[in-house]
Amino acid sequence: MKDHLKSSHMKFKKNAKKTLYEGLNQKKKSKSYQEPSFLEELSNRLHLPADILAGAPIITATGRNELCLENYKGIIEYNGNLIKVQTKVCRICIEGKQLNILYFTEDEMRITGYIQAIYYQ
């Protein structure tokens, strides 16, 4: 008769423990990327380009010799091998050889030279 009457208490307890403590036992995810800002999230939900609402930088590279950078705030460092630019969202580093800022306006600049790397900091 014992075999026919099996308690479901242990099964219930095991399932309840999984769901009850599920959020607490998870390891925190390491943030190797930057979470989108409120304006970036809003532009994603409204299906609008990120540069309109969030002021995200736009980089247009033409081969390895020319680059157009839009939506920047200021130039931090400038020499023949490195150009650092501050944007609303991050800092952009452009490495290369014989780099030259052909022209710049309030929100756009054109860089020429041999571009080797573009870094976001």
Region of 113 on the Ramachandran plot (φ > 0 left; ψ -120 to 50 alpha; else beta): left
Task: Give residue-wise pLDDT tens across range 59-112.
Answer: 999 999 999 999 899 999 999 999 999 998 889 999 999 999 999 998 899 999
**pLDDT of 111:** 95
Residue 52 lies in a domain: no
The amino acid at residue 37 is S
Q: Regarding predicted confidence, which is higher, 98 or 1?
A: 98
Per the structure, how many domains does the chain have? Answer: 1
Number of helices and strands in the chain (H, E): 4, 6
Residue 77 lies in a domain: yes
Task: Give residue-wise pLDDT tens across range 20-50.
Answer: 555 555 555 555 667 767 777 777 787 776 6
Residue 25 lies in a domain: no
CB 39 within 8 A of CB 51: no
Count the neighbouring beta carbons within 10 Å of the beta carbon of residue 24. Answer: 6
Residue 102 lies in a domain: yes
The pTM of this model reads 0.61
